Amino acid sequence: MKIKQLLKNSPLYPILIIESFLSSRRRRWLINASAAAVGGLLVLATFFHFVRLTEFAPKIWGLVSLSLAFYLTAKMIEWYFNASYYFDNVALNRYHPGDLFTFTVGRVLLATAREDVVQGFLTSDVGARVMARLGLTSSACKDFLRLRPASGAWPKLPIGPEPVLRLRELVKFLYRNDSAWAAWLAEREITEVQLIGAVNWVVREIEYQEYRKRWWSETSLSRWPSLARDWGFGTTAILDQYSWDLLFGLEFSSNLYEFSSRLDEVNQVENILAKEREANVFVIADAAGERLDVIWHLVRRIKDGQVEPALEFKRPVLFNSAVFLAHFKDKSTLELEFLKILKEAAAAGNIILVFDNFITLLQGFEVMRSSLLDLLYPYLSSRSVQIVGLADNDGFHRHLENNSSLMALFDRIFIRPLPRESLVFNLEQTVWTIEKKHHLFFTYPALLAVVDGAGRYFPGSGAGDKAIDLLTEIIPWAKKRRLRIIDVSAVETLISDKAGVPVGRINPAEREKLLNLEQSLATRIVGQREAISQLAGALRRARTGVRNDKRPVGAFLFLGPTGVGKTETAKALAEVMFAGEKNLLRLDLAEYQTADALDRLIGSDLGQPGALARLVREQPYGVLLLDEFEKAAPDVHDLCLTIFDEGYFTDREGRRVDLRNLVIIASSNAGADLIWRRARAGEGKKITVDELTNHLVTQAIFKPELLNRFDAMVVYKPLNAEELKQIARLLLGRLAKRLQDQNLRLVITDYLAAAVAKFGANELFGARPMQRFIQDRIEQVVADGLVAGVLRAGATIAFEPNEQTGEPELSSSEK
Amino acid sequence: MRFLSVVARYFIWHYGQALIQFSRIYWRLTFFLFNFFSVPVLVRSLFAPWRRLGEAYPTAGIDLVAIASTFIVNVIMRLVGVILRTIMIAFGSTATLIFALLYPVIFLIWLLLPAGIILLVLLGVGLLFV
């Protein structure tokens, strides 16, 4: 069937025609303009009447009549549109099967020429809104339409009697059948999921705007606060000092719609509070925003009059525990005031008392040697006041759960963390508010970047709260930069600035860094070409997104004898990839061999914070070096299994510690003897990773499942004399640089490097003692020379071999 | 053609579906007005003390003066409640009644509206050009 025919067959046809001739904005303008004309002309007629200019009166009244006729006609068109649009539930996205398609699809079809629906979509107002949400301008869309290859015959549109075709299905159909359009979108990094997400967002926005226009609906009318509704209830003067009436405000993060992912919890809270007796509940979640969100839903229902009869006219108040506690210094006044509040709330008869942080209040009373629960008990079983306690998981389990008499009077609702799609849905609504208030415009991919970035780079509880925090931070950030459109790159820049890690697309400087990672590392690490190239490859995979997001950036086991560059590699990596050695987190696992090792790492039940938990919370990005990995207790190895698998662990307080933004390097000397022996046997006998793995497993040093969790096992070979000489040169180079700052020039000769390698390094500790040798035999000599006045600023320092020992000594010319 | 088809559909709506929709909204607004003044709630709690204010009767011993004083205070609070509620109920009921009585008038205006617009145009043209 031709599109024109389809349109004519739909009951939506008349309103589609009206909308195409006169959009709702134009209609509104016409109504306002004609009303203003009627008013203005009436004033003019009155004025002429008083100044007795009667000859103009008929003309003015003629104009009044015509303007009034015009106004009434415009109003009638609007009423007709509204009647068809709203009464038939089009605005609520509820259609009759005979409608064939939704109103938004109708608008696309109406804009369609020559049966080209993609063109219709891109030129329709709703399509332009979707494209704008994807960051694509109308001129870019026009260019695409102008330049695209001619499309062949289209398959039949999926329009049947049932179900009604919705915009997201139409767009999906178009995307899958127009490869040129799909390719054009793919070039702009827009996926099908993002496209459909943007469509849903735009449709929901239209629905929301229409919903607000329906002032005559029962829900809208019931939102008007009725007069005298609280005359039957008491006043709460004391309680009001420490609390906030939730009916008088809608919190920023609260959702405009009710949505399915929180409905269960809200229904449960509502049912509990509607009980005849013991209508008290603990709402438990780690993020304050998540706990409050449920309460906000309930408040909205009470305000809308869409609540159980028992909760009608109820007044939920949020009791600010911290403010209350701050007012009192002694037990008796604290208890007295609290009892007054409870008495007042009970006497008022319509109070739902919400304690914003129940545990804080409980502990505050304990500090004063009082018992909150003893004061509350008489009210918990009464029907005069309902009590809601908000608490975090840890606090609830520690302080409340074991109190069986309290638990008998309270129900509990544990709030689940929201899945990603619900977070996006939540944020979509918050963005409307921000956009309206601050004249900003967010693209849909930017919104996704906020949700993903908040979860990934600002770990901890309450991803929803963090995403909203990030959104609110964007506002001043964007205003400072005079940005009006917030796209992915803006969000990524903000996250990069805030978190100090590269996020998003690889910029040219970073690309250079990644491509030259081997060379950059090789300037500091000598003789470990294979190890470095393995590591660099893994890191490139990580940065380009070809990795599992739910694991650390990389987990590597560095094996080899002491002093061959394992630690130096970790330092170099932190320097190159994370802008400085300050981003190297180091834990010596040799200190964690005892039975209490795990407690010391993740925190103990006695409340001692764990070293690893603290370290990672303070610095969640960078390189984590676990030195002497083989020496750690088996419990610690088991913890690492979880970390390498999941990217996080849970500390003793039940909080998640996120290690997904770390490169984890475990270094170990295990198997060093074998590596040595095989290295000495010659180039052809070099040890392989498989052989080393077998050795480590048979010696029961590591469990096979632990070794399997590493992204790579990197074997460091012992250094030969030439490599040690190169390291000596590197170390001497660093010393020379320091001396240069004091205007002294150190001459690094071939002899000096060879001498440092020969006398500084040894078989057991590799290159490590060289630093000490340089310190004792070079730096010290120079320092002594400076003190004695033998060396002065501008001097050139050279070393020559001692005639007997061959060790370096200050050149005779300098003495 | 499109325009004419829409005009025809408009008139079918104006004298058909719209009358039902109009009536439905009108009675919903009437009901809203009734509730806006909280008339049902106020009637239910007509004799309750104003804002639940009042005193508790003494529990220890029989102090006739105290009992009488409490009784008087409580009666006064109830009286205040009755008076204020009655005023509000009277306001609300009158407003609702007036609004309800206007229904036939507005209904008639609705029926005559298309003709009225034509009349206004004719009148306007007449006054301007004749």
Average pLDDT estimate for A600-623: 84
Alpha-carbon distance values, A567 to A119, A625, A751 (Å): 60, 8, 27
How confident is the model over A544-593, as pLDDT tens digits? Answer: 655 566 788 888 888 888 777 888 888 888 887 776 777 889 999 999 98
Which residues of chain A are within 8 Å of residue B14 when distances are taken between CB atoms? 76, 80
| Of the residues A479, A499, A519, the one at which a domain ends | A499
The shortest CB-CB distance from B38 to any of A62, A221, A226 is to A226
* Cα–Cα distance measured from residue A727 to residue A526, given in angstroms and rounded to the nearest whole number: 6
Number of domains in chain A: 5
Mutant choice from B11, B42, B74 vs A, greatest count of A C-beta within 10 A: B42
Q: Which of A32-46, A83-97, A654-668 has the lowest mean pLDDT?
A: A83-97
Regarding beta strands A745-746 and A796-797, do their DSSP bridges make them parallel or antiparallel, or are they unpaired?
Answer: parallel
For helices B2-14 and B103-129, the axis angle rounded to 10 degrees is 140
CATH number at residue A434: 1.10.8.60
Chain A residue closest in CA terms to B19: A83
Residues A181 and A118 occupy one common structural domain: yes
**B34 to chain A: nearest residue by CA?**
A226
Q: Which residue, A481, A499, A517, sits at the end of a domain?
A: A499
Q: Convert the pLDDT of each residue in A702-756 to its tens digit.
A: 888 888 888 888 888 777 777 788 888 888 888 888 888 878 888 888 888 888 8
Q: Sorting pLDDT into bands at 50, 70 and 90, what band is A812?
A: low
Query: What average pLDDT score do residues A454-480 get?
Result: 85
A47 contacts: CB under 8 Å, gap ≥ 6 = none
Cβ contacts below 8 Å, chain A against chain B, sum to: 115
Residue that has been written with the tokens 């008088």 in this structure: A248
**Interval A68-79: pLDDT, tens:** 999 999 999 998
Taking only Cα atoms into account, the Rg of chain B, rounded to an integer number of angstroms, comes to 28
For residue B90, the number of C-alpha atoms closer than 13 Å in the C-beta half-sphere is 6
Q: Residue A131 sits in which domain range? A: 4-206
Q: Which residue has the higher pLDDT, A261 or A124?
A: A124
Question: What chain A residue is nearest to B124 in terms of C-alpha separation?
Answer: A62
Reported as a single tens digit per residue, the pLDDT across A628-646 is 998 899 889 999 998 988 8
Q: At what angle do helices A57-82 and B103-129 cross, to 10 degrees?
A: 140
Answer yes or no: are the C-beta atoms of A200 and A259 closer than 8 Å: no
* CB-based contact, A348 to chain B, within 8 Å: yes
- Per-residue pLDDT of B84-93, as tens digits, reads 999 999 999 9
First to last CA, chain B: 33
Q: Are residues A659 and A569 in the same domain?
A: yes
As a whole number of angstroms, the distance between CA A431 and CA A204 comes to: 13
Chain A positions touching B21 (Cβ under 8 A) are: 83, 87
Phi, psi of A329 (to 5 degrees): -115, -15
Under an 8 A CB cutoff, do B6 and A235 touch? no
Residues of A in contact with B2 (CB under 8 A): 17
- Minimal-distance CA residue of chain B relative to A16: B6
Q: Is B18 on the interface with A (CB under 8 A)?
A: yes
Chain A: closest CA distance from residue B5 (Å): 8
pLDDT at residue B118 greater than cutoff 90:
yes
Residue B127 is nearest to which of A59, A218, A232, comparing CB atoms?
A59
pLDDT at A252: 41
ipTM of the complex: 0.81
Spatial separation of the C-alpha atoms in residues A117 and A155, rounded to whole Å: 11
- Please state the domain count of chain B: 1
Is residue B79 within 8 angstroms of chain A, CB to CB?
A: no
Helix (H, G, I), strand (E, B) or coil at A762: strand
Confidence category of residue A429, pLDDT binned at 50, 70, 90: confident
pLDDT for A376 beyond 80: yes
Domain contains A226: no
User: Rg of the Cα trace of chain A?
Assistant: 37
- Asked if B12 has any chain A CB less than 8 Å from its own CB, the reply is no
pLDDT of residue A335: 94
CA gap A719, A716 in Å, rounded:
9
For A217, the token pair is 């609906």
Say if residue A118 is in the same domain as residue A245. Answer: no
SS3 sequence of chain B: CHHHHHHHHHHHHHCCHHHHHHHHHHHHHHHHHHHHCCHHHHHHCCCCCHHHCCCCCCCCCCCHHHHHHHHHHHHHHHHHHHHHHHHHHHHHHHHHHHHHHCHHHHHHHHHHHHHHHHHHHHHHHHHHHC
pLDDT band per the 50, 70, 90 thresholds, residue A388: very high
Taking CB atoms and an 8 Å limit, are A228 and B38 in contact across chains? yes
Question: Is residue A9 in a domain?
Answer: yes
Does A688 lie in the same domain as A765?
no
Answer yes or no: do A242 and A332 share one domain: yes
Spatial strand order of the sheet with A351-355 comes to A243-245, A315-319, A351-355, A386-391, A280-284, A411-414
Which structural domain, as residue segments, surrounds residue B46? 2-129
Please tell me whether residues A684 and A536 are part of one structural domain. Answer: yes
Domain boundary among A670, A696, A715: A715
A78-117 burial: b if 16+ Cβ within 10 Å, else e:
bbbbbbbbbbbebbebebeeebbbbbbbbbbbbbbeeebb
Give yes or no for B32 touching A (CB within 8 A): yes
| A253 has pLDDT over 70 | no
C-alpha distance across the termini of chain A, in Å: 103
Bigger pLDDT: A746 vs B108: B108
**pLDDT band at A116, cuts 50/70/90?**
confident
Instruction: Looking at the structure, tell me whether residues A133 and A260 fall in a common domain.
Output: no
As a whole number, mean pLDDT of residues A78-97 equals 71
Q: Output phi, psi for A375, to 5 deg.
A: -70, -35
Partners of B6 on chain A (C-beta within 8 Å) are 14, 17-18
